[in-house]
């Protein structure tokens, strides 16, 4: 009986060794790396910077935790925290990817709207040019305004090129600049026409 | 054959306990022999790198930040490599050193990024404001003085760059804002300084022009006669009688009025002291009424010949002529081929008050260039 108890104790010790030698969560580590790559491809570092940075922090913490556990004696390893951190990092990268996609789409839509609005605005400015007073400093001013309109058309073309190369932030900046300029041109022309109408009445 | 006698009863228990004790002792010894992992320094290192990333070190201190990331990655891989070894042969010194380096570089990168970003924010804030002011000043000037067309087109394009820089600044992308600003700055300043330099060069003759105008007015006073002074920069025609200003009229000139007339077809209005040599009306002129002056006078002819001898003018160039003060003005532009145009109503007045021989002094400007370069305000 006592021999059986002794053998059982030895068996338990051996079992502890076997069960205690837990494996590092390799698959989760690979999944986290893949999630980070996906987030980078989605330009999360540009369009969802804070979320991307937080996700990278989670991954760094998880990797450190894994190595810390790997450094321990096999029986004392515990990857529960590392697993939780890796799961959280994967979720964070996914959130960053989703947010980046949403933000990118938002910026793309804004740039797209601005670009779509620019063409009719340029046309409107050209029509106003035809109505604008030519006398009393008018012609010289109109020549300058024509140069402004040409520059806006060139800005629009640059914005369209940036859209084609999927650089939506640059496209939006360029479109906003062109829109700001064409609005001031239209305002200037409307003021000049308004003054002309006022002087006639 | 002799059989081995297995321990019995109490002996068996003692032997088992001994084996267990040995195992447990080995376990404790093993744990004690384990090299402590560099967890603390590694955590500090990745936190420093993480903080640097939050401070946008990847953009604002890229070299140092990349170095910090490299050290951190090397620390991680050496740690992993050591973990694969048997516990008694592990050595985490290199990992700890690399982690320390990563921590140091991370901290430097973070501080550098904050400093550079703050400095760039200031730089772009003031840079955009300064450039916008220059743009406004130049626009105001360009309404009054002729600006080279190519220069103007470059200027307008650079104006859009300033706006782009501003939008990048508003979304806190100071690097893009700076890049756009640096692209626009030489174009805006170049257009402004080129125009200002040619204006300053032109206005160096102001003392001479003032003397001409004063002498003309003095002659008008002395002879109690009518005299005309045309100020090209002011776009004004002043009519004096008995040395006193009788009237002033807005005028339009040739599109290249900034500078002396050098040859036929240059669309410039000459500067000099002339006299009315012919009064034209009805079918004599297509510009309502006209007062023809004696351009080119002897001084103009001498200048023309000298310029041609110096090779500044083509050999086939001619000096031109038929410069008039005439009607059909009020178009709002400098449109003549070098003549001085007045609105017809003003032309009527001028035509009535002048006669053959009336002095007409045409000057570039009667005012100098103020310290701020704003000649026309």
SS3 for chain A is CHHHHHHHHHHHHHHHHHHHCCCCCHHHHHHHHHHHHHHHHCCHHHHCHHHHHHHHHHHHHHHHHHHHHHCCCHHHCCCHHHHHHHHHHHHHHHHHHHHHHHHHHHHHHHHHHHHHHHHHHHHHHHHHHHHCCCCCCHHHHHHHHHHHHHHHHHHHHHHHHHHHCCCHHHHHHHHHHHHHHHHHHHHHHHHHHHHHHHHHC
Count Cβ atoms below 10 Å from residue B250 Cβ, excluding itself: 16
For range B329-335, the mean pLDDT: 81
Stated as kind and residue range, the H or E segment containing B247 is: strand B244-250
Q: Which residues contact A194 (CB under 8 A, 6 or more apart)?
A: none
**Crossing angle for the helix pair B9-33 and A2-20, to the nearest 10 degrees:** 20
Kindly tell me if the per-residue pLDDT of B375 is higher than 50: no
ipTM: 0.80
> Is residue B84 over pLDDT 60?
yes
For the residues B219-245, what does the mean pLDDT come to? 93
Query: What is the reported pLDDT for B3?
Result: 63
pLDDT band at B315 (very low <50, low <70, confident <90, very high): confident
The CA-to-CA distance between both ends of chain A, in Å, stands at 122
Whether the pLDDT of residue A201 is over 50: the answer is no
Task: Identify which has the larger pLDDT, A69 or B331.
Answer: A69
Q: Using CA atoms, how far apart are residues A130 and A134, in angstroms rounded to an integer?
A: 9
Chain A residues touching B46 at Cβ < 8 A: 57, 60-61, 64
* Tokens describing residue A166: 């999927």
How much is the pLDDT for B109?
97
Tokens of B288: 């309502």
Using the predicted structure, report yes or no on whether residue A9 has a pLDDT greater than 80. Answer: no
Give the residue ranges of DSSP H helices in B251-364: 298-309, 344-353
User: Does the pLDDT of residue A41 top 90, yes or no?
Assistant: yes
Q: Residue A196: pLDDT above 50?
A: yes
Evaluate the CA torsion angle A136, A137, A143, A149 in order and state its sign: negative
Quick one: average pLDDT of B276-303? 90
More confident residue, B42 or A196: B42
Which residues in chain B have their CB less than 8 angstroms from residue A176's CB?
163-164, 167
Contacts of B157 in chain A (CB under 8 A): 151, 154
The predicted model gives B356-368 an average pLDDT of: 90
pLDDT of residue B106 exceeding 60: yes
CA B252 – CA B202 distance, rounded (Å): 19
**What pLDDT digit, counting tens, does each position of A112-127 carry?**
999 999 999 999 999 9
Give the pLDDT of residue B340: 93
Query: Which of B12, B54, B143 is opposite residue A53, by nearest beta carbon?
Result: B54
- What local confidence, expressed as pLDDT, does residue A193 receive? 80
Band of pLDDT at residue B14, cut at 50, 70 and 90: confident
The predicted pLDDT at position B267 comes to 80
Residues in Cβ contact with B95 at an 8 Å cutoff, skipping those fewer than 6 apart: B38, B42, B75, B78, B79, B82
Confidence of residue A5 (pLDDT cuts 50, 70, 90): low
Give the model confidence (pLDDT) of A78-106 as tens digits: 999 999 999 999 999 999 999 999 999 99
Average pLDDT across chain A, whole number: 86
* Distance from the A58 Cα atom to the nearest Cα atom in chain B, whole angstroms: 10
Tell me the C-alpha to C-alpha distance, in Å, between residue B319 and each of A112, B220, B304, B313. 57, 30, 7, 10
**B348 vs B239: CA distance, rounded Å:** 13
Residues of A in contact with B39 (CB under 8 A): 64, 68, 71
Looking at the partner chain, which of A67, A135, A154 has a beta carbon nearest the beta carbon of B330? A135
Sheet holding B272-281, edge to edge: B244-250, B236-241, B226-231, B359-363, B272-281, B289-293, B324-326, B340-341
Q: Give pLDDT, residue B377.
A: 32
Nearest residue in A to B95, CA atom? A67
Q: What percent of chain A has pLDDT over 90?
A: 62
Closest CA to A6 of B276, B92, B125, B14: B14
Partner residue opposite A56 with nearest CB, options B9, B53, B335: B53
Query: Six-digit token pair at B139?
Result: 């626009």
pLDDT of residue B27 exceeding 60, the answer is yes
What is the rounded average pLDDT of the residues B22-36? Answer: 74
Which of A73-77, A97-101, B92-96 is predicted with the least confidence, judged by mean pLDDT? A73-77
Structure-model confidence comparison of residues A70 and B218, the more confident one: B218
Higher per-residue pLDDT: B35 or B61:
B61
Least CB–CB distance from B34: residue in A3, A73, A147:
A73
CB atoms within 10 A of CB B247: 13
Look at residue B191 in the predicted model and tell me its pLDDT.
86
Cα separation of B86 and B96, whole Å?
Answer: 19
d(CA B230, CA B274): 11
What is the rounded distance in angstroms from the CA atom of residue B141 to the CA atom of residue B122? 29
Q: Which SS3 state, helix, strand or coil, does residue B211 take? A: helix
The pLDDT confidence band at residue B335, using thresholds 50, 70 and 90, is confident
Higher pLDDT, B322 or A33: A33
Close Cβ partners of A166 (under 8 Å, ≥ 6 residues apart):
none
CA distances from B241 to B17, B223, B229, B234 (A): 135, 9, 11, 20
Structure confidence by residue, pLDDT tens digits, B195-214:
888 888 888 899 999 999 99
> Which residues of A are less than 8 Å from B43 in CB distance?
61, 64
Q: Do A144 and B152 touch (CB under 8 A)?
A: yes
pLDDT band for position A53 (50/70/90)? very high
With cut-offs at 50, 70 and 90, classify the pLDDT of residue B126. very high
Confidence class for position A136, pLDDT limits 50, 70, 90: very low
Kind and range of the H or E run holding B236: strand B236-241
Q: Which pLDDT score is estimated for B35?
A: 66
> Mean pLDDT across the stretch B246-269?
86
pLDDT (0 to 100) of residue B371: 47
At residue B228, the pLDDT reads: 95
Q: Which residue has the higher pLDDT, B262 or A155?
A: A155
pLDDT band of B34, cuts 50, 70, 90: low
Nearest CA in chain B to A149: B156
What length is written for chain A? 201
What pLDDT does B374 receive? Answer: 44
Of B106, B99, B86, give the one whose Cα is nearest residue A63: B99
Q: How many alpha carbons fall within 13 Å on the CB side of residue A17?
A: 9
């Amino acid at each position: 009986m006592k021999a059986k108890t002794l053998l059982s104790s030895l068996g338990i010790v051996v079992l502890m060794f076997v069960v205690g030698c837990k494996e590092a969560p390799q698959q989760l580590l690979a999944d986290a790396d893949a999630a980070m790559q996906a987030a980078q491809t989605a330009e999360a570092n540009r369009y969802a910077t804070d979320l991307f940075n937080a996700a990278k922090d989670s991954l760094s913490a998880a990797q450190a935790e894994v190595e810390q556990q790997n450094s321990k004696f096999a029986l004392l390893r515990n990857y529960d925290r590392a697993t939780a951190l890796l799961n959280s990092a994967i979720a964070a990268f996914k959130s960053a990817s989703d947010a980046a996609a949403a933000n990118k789409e938002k910026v793309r839509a804004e740039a797209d709207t601005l670009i779509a609005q620019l063409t009719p605005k340029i046309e409107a400015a050209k029509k106003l040019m035809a109505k604008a007073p030519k006398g009393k400093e008018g012609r010289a001013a109109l020549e300058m305004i024509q140069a402004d309109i040409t520059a806006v058309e060139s800005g629009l073309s640059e914005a369209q090129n940036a859209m084609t190369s999927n650089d939506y932030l640059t496209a939006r900046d360029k479109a906003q600049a062109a829109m700001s300029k064409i609005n001031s041109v239209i305002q200037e022309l409307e003021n000049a026409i308004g003054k002309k109408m006022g002087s006639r009445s | 054959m002799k059989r081995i006698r297995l321990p019995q009863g109490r002996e068996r228990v003692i032997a088992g306990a001994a084996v267990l004790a040995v195992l447990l002792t080995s376990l404790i010894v093993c744990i004690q022999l384990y090299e402590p992992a560099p967890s603390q320094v590694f955590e500090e290192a990745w936190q420093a790198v993480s903080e640097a990333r939050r401070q946008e070190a990847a953009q604002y201190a890229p070299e140092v930040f990349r170095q910090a990331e490299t050290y951190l990655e090397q620390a991680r891989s050496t740690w992993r490599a050591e973990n694969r070894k048997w516990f008694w042969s592990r050595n985490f010194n290199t990992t700890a050193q690399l982690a320390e380096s990563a921590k140091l570089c991370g901290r430097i990168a973070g501080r550098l990024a904050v400093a550079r970003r703050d400095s760039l924010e200031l730089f772009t804030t003031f840079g955009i404001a300064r450039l916008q002011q220059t743009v406004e000043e130049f626009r105001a000037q360009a309404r009054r003085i002729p600006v080279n067309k190519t220069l103007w087109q470059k200027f307008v394009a650079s104006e859009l760059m300033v706006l782009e820089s501003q939008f990048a600044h508003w979304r806190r992308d100071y690097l893009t804002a700076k890049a756009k600003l640096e692209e626009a700055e030489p174009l805006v300043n170049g257009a402004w300084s080129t125009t200002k330099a040619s204006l300053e060069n032109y206005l160096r003759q102001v003392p001479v022009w003032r003397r001409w105008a004063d002498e003309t007015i003095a002659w008008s006073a002395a002879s109690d006669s009518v005299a005309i002074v045309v100020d090209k920069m002011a776009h004004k025609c002043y009519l004096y009688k008995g040395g006193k200003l009788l009237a002033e009229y807005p005028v339009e000139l040739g599109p290249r009025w900034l500078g002396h007339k050098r040859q036929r077809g240059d669309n410039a209005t000459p500067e000099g002291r002339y006299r009315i040599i012919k009064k034209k009306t009805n079918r004599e002129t297509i510009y309502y009424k006209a007062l023809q002056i004696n351009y080119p006078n002897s001084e103009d002819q001498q200048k023309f010949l000298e310029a041609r001898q110096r090779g500044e003018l083509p050999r086939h160039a001619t000096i031109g002529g038929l410069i008039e003060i005439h009607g059909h003005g009020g178009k709002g532009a400098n449109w003549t081929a070098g003549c001085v145009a007045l609105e017809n109503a003003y032309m009527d007045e001028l035509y009535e008050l002048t006669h053959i021989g009336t002095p007409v002094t045409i000057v570039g400007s009667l005012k100098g260039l103020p310290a701020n370069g704003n000649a026309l305000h």
